[in-house]
Amino acid sequence: MTDALPPLRFKTQFKERIWGGQRIRTLLGKDFSPLPNCGETWELSSVPGSVSQVEAGPLAGRSLIQALETYGAELCGARLWETHGPQFPLLVKFLDAADDLSIQVHPDDALAQKRHGCAGKTEMWYVFAADPGSRLISGFREPVDRAAYQKAIAEDRLPSILQSHPIAPGDVFFLPAGRVHAIGKGICLAEIQQSSDITYRLFDYHRVDAKTGRERELHTDAALDATDFSPVAELRTRYEPRLGESVTLVRCSYFHTRLAWFDRPMPRTFDGSSCTIYINVSGSATVRNGAGSVDLAFGECCLMPAHAGHWTLEPKGETKLLEVRVE
C-alpha cells in the first residue's frame, strides 16, 4: 500500500451547446473562452474522448484512467475496483440552460449494452440557480400507454402530456433510465449520472441549429423501447437539510448522494469500499486529509481517495457540498 493520496481536483472541460449560456462564467467564475457559450462543464469523467485530467498535486497531468490504473483500489475503493476496474462509473457535470433543452430519454443498462456496448444512464439533478418562473420536465402528467405516447409524438404535442415542475434552488430530481425529461430555460444545476453519453432526443421545439441550418435529429423510434410509461406519484425528491449534518438526497444502484451543510469543520470517515466525490453547490470550503488539501469554491469538484480513511471538511462560512459515493 502506498502513502495516502490527497484529494484530487480535475481540469474542467467546457462543452458548447445550442442551449448554453454565459453563467458558467458569470456565476461559477469559469472562463470558457474561446467558446461563444458553455452549456456543460464536465468535472469528473472517464467517457472516451473526454477523460478528466488531474489539475494539480503529485498526480498532475495524469488522466483519471491513468491514475486508476496506477493506484487501483487505493484510489477508487476495493468494491469499485473489483466491479469497474479503471473505468470510472460516474460522470459529474454543471449545466447552464439559457434555453430549453430537448425533451429526451436515456436507455437502461440492458438496452444500452445491447445497442451501444456501454452503460445506460440514470442521473440526478441538484438545482443551484433558477430564474423566476423556471420549470423543468420530468415524467408524464397522467398514465399513458405506448399508443397514446406515439399519437402525441405524431401530432407534435409531446410537451402537453408531460409533467412540468416549477423550480427553486435546492430542488432535487432523480431520473432513472427511461424517465422522459428536460431541463428548462433559466436553470443551472449539478448533474450526477452514470458514465454514459447516450441520449434519445424526442422533441426539440423545431429549433434550427445555426451551424447546420437544419433541425436537430430526433430519435423517436429508438426511444420507444427505452421509455418507461409507469406512473410515478412523486417526481421531486423530498429531503430536509440540517445544518451541521450530511443528509441523504438520492440512493440508487449507482450512487449515494448526500447534502453536507455546515458552517464549522466536519470530520468524515468512510470505509475503503468506494472513493467520495465532493461538489460545491454553495459557499467555499477546504477538503483536507493527512496527505494534502484542496480548496473548493462554488462550482468546483474533487475526488477523495478511498484510502484516505479520515478527512475534514473545513468551511469558509456556511457551505453546502454534495457528497457522492459510488454504490
Q: What is the Cα–Cα distance from 303 to 189, expressed in whole angstroms?
A: 19
Q: What is the Cα–Cα distance from 312 to 285, expressed in whole angstroms?
A: 10
The torsion angles phi and psi of 114, rounded to 5 degrees, stand at: -65, -40
Catalytic annotation present for 201: yes
Please give the grid coordinates belonging to residue 325. Answer: 459515493
Q: What is the Cα–Cα distance from 221 to 204, expressed in whole angstroms?
A: 15
| Catalytically annotated residue among 201, 258, 268, 325 | 201
Please give the grid coordinates belonging to residue 257. Answer: 448522494
The torsion angles phi and psi of 210, rounded to 5 degrees, stand at: -60, -25
Q: Is 164 within 8 Å of 179 (Cβ atoms)?
A: no
The torsion of the CA quartet 14, 212, 103, 36, rounded to 10 degrees, works out to 30
Please give the grid coordinates belonging to residue 284. Answer: 467555499
- The shares of helix, strand and coil residues in the chain, as percent rounded to the nearest 5, are 15, 40, 45
Q: Using the Cα atoms of residue 30, residue 88, residue 79 and residue 109 in order, give the sign of their dihedral.
A: positive
Kindly give, in sequence order, each residue whose CB lies less than 8 Å from that of residue 281, ignoring residues fewer than 6 positions away.
126, 128, 190, 298, 320, 321, 322
Q: Is 246 within 8 Å of 266 (Cβ atoms)?
A: yes
Residues classed as catalytic: 201
